[in-house]
Chains A and B, each alone.
Chain A
Amino acid sequence: MTCQIVMLPDPVSVRDTALLAEAIDLLFRYRIKNLPVVDANGIYRGLFGIHTLIRQLLPRAATLDEGTGLTDLGFVHDTLDNLRDRLAGHMHEPVLQFSDQTLKPVAPDASIMETLLRLHRQHLILPVADPVSGRLLGIVTYWELLARLTGRTT
């Protein structure tokens, strides 16, 4: 049994050249947390979402690798206006810049257990792409998985 059984085909995605503002609009419009980023040929380029967006709002010193960055920001008292300014400065930049390009997609023939393990480790959606062409085929989400396990519909 492969990951295709829990895959959601033709997911909402965003072009790599789209602006950050457009990508955020898509998150709101579809009430989703993550969006696969694709190029003009539908090749998977990265994953944009709430987590990668929040990362941009944090000081860089707090998002370094574990052990080298700041572990606590209790002493920083930036206001919502400060954060708004920080976000506004990025709104007209390409969404790919704010995407996680290190997250590797799973192949459609990956086993269901492998898919489950990747989901468990990443706490995100999993993009599914053709291993040869790199074309985005679908995504695996927690909801899709839970629906299949309990016989419900998403």
Chain B
Amino acid sequence: MHDTASVIFGLDPFWVSLALFAATYVTIITERLNRAIVALLGAGLMIISGVITQQAALRNGVDFNTLGLLTGMMVIVAITRKCGVFQYVAIWSAKKVHASPWGILVMLALVTGVFSAFLDNVTTVLLVAPVTLLITEELKVDPYPFLFAEIFASNIGGTATLIGDPPNIMIGSATGLSFNEFVFHLTPVIVVILLATLVPIYFVWGRRLVATPEARARVMQFREREAITDARLLKQSLVVLAAVVLGFILAHPLRLEPATIAMAGAAVLLLLDNFAHSAEQQSERVHKAFGEVEWVTIFFFLGLFIVVHGIDTAGVLKWVANEVVRLTGGNLALTGQAILWVSAFASAIVDNIPFVATMIPLIKSMAPVYGGMQHIEPLWWSLALGACLGGNGTLIGASANLVVAGISERAGRPIRFVPYLLMAFPLMLLSIVISSAYIYLRYFR
């Protein structure tokens, strides 16, 4: 069955879809309009112009698995964060290194990296950055290196798993690659990259971070147990989070999609969190939990999926894929490296979500040339590493970067675009060099 309706004025769907896609992208990049508005407008025009039908857009274009996984995890985090567990871990880790400034920087970066592997990056930095500001204020040291390291750690850590970063969620959903496969293929190199990133940070800032014994004593006086504001909710949240992660690990043999696991987890946690309350209170609490879902991101995805399905249906992506294959001479290793580096540079400049949304059908179109889907698996790892790690390159490369910059500015220590770029871009390149070597050695040697 064809997804294409009849295009208005008898125009060629190839050019109409390409024009709408380009207009959508350019408008997103200019950031003059909210990205969700742009994506929904682009999607609407793709259907109204007749490039695709509404039925095809919703049935074949929109990846409800991605949307369900994102929404479910956002609800779980919205409830879990209320119990103070994230502050607890951050303070506990700071005290484990006896409040030494460099030790704290490393510990908070590791905590951010691990949290980001399982939670949304923005949520993670929203939880860790305020504690960082508190600790650095007590230590009377500059928060900048700490926040910088956390930005990097959030984007690096998010690359490690299927659920860590939206590009991975989209790749996993579109390809059927499991949670375990993401861990098996990406986590080893991510551990190396995170540790390697801390080395330059030490030489630039870390070795000069000094705090007085009195200041360190103040941090050591923090009582992390008192950061837990709701012990009952803490237990409930940890049980549900553990069950959800276990569900992701067992998803393949259980024949369950990640969205089902995340949504079921969200429903169970909502039940546990509301069971003891009256009907009126439940309405208010559930409304609040749903209110914390980032609906702008969800609607942005919805619109983008339709826009990308439009150019896919019109044959644009197939044409681009053929060109890429022609340029790389049909060499899979070279294609893998090209995807890695192009994704990294593109994600440093533009939002990696629309980029990955476009690349997924494009890479799928290459499968027949390389002998089927099973042979192009390394290309998905190249895409995930490039798109997620590239976001570290500039302050606008990823949402988490902007969130930390916003918090830092309000706390009186702004993170400026150019100074950030001068340190971050070479560090991002370091991570891509490591990824490049990893992809070559593991899949193509």
Contacts and interface: CB of A to CB of B under 8 A. Distances in A.
Interface of A: 59-62, 64-65, 68-70, 72, 74-78, 82
A61 B411 contact: yes
Interface residues of B, number: 25
B218 A78 contact: yes
B137 interface: yes
A57 to B, nearest CB: 12
A75 to B, nearest CB: 4
A75 B226 contact: yes
Contacts of A65: 410
A45 B227 CA distance: 39
B278 interface: no
Among A62, A76, A82, residue most surrounded by chain B Cβ atoms (within 10 Å): A76
Interface stretch (B25-33, B104-112, B125-133): B125-133
B402 interface: no
Given A68-B407, A75-B91, A77-B222, A61 B130 contact: yes
Given A76-B222, A78-B218, A59 B407 contact: no
Given A68-B126, A75-B91, A76-B134, 18 more contacts: A59-B133, A59-B134, A59-B137, A59-B138, A60-B133, A60-B137, A61-B131, A61-B132, A61-B133, A61-B134, A62-B134, A64-B130, A68-B406, A69-B130, A75-B225, A75-B227, A77-B221, A78-B218
B412 interface: yes
Given A61-B133, A70-B87, A75 B218 contact: no
B216 to A, nearest CB: 14
Interface in B113-137: 126, 130-134, 137
B60 interface: no
A72 B222 contact: no
A59 B218 CA distance: 13
B286 to A, nearest CB: 19
B229 to A, nearest CB: 6
Interface of B: 84, 87, 91, 126, 130-134, 137-138, 218, 221-227, 229, 406-407, 410-412
Given A68-B406, A72-B84, A72-B87, A60 B411 contact: yes
A99 to B, nearest CB: 16
A25 B185 CA distance: 66
Contacts of A78: 218, 221
B134 A70 contact: yes
Contacts of A76: 134, 222
A68 B229 contact: no
Contacts of A74: 223, 226-227, 229
Contacts of B412: 60
Contacts of A62: 130, 134
A75 B130 contact: no
21 contacts: A59-B133, A59-B137, A60-B411, A60-B412, A61-B132, A61-B137, A62-B130, A62-B134, A64-B407, A68-B130, A69-B130, A70-B87, A72-B84, A72-B87, A72-B227, A72-B229, A75-B91, A75-B222, A75-B226, A77-B221, A78-B221
Contacts of A72: 84, 87, 227, 229
A61 to B, nearest CB: 4
Contacts of B126: 68
Contacts of A82: 218
B113 to A, nearest CB: 21
A69 B223 CA distance: 19
A79 B132 CA distance: 20
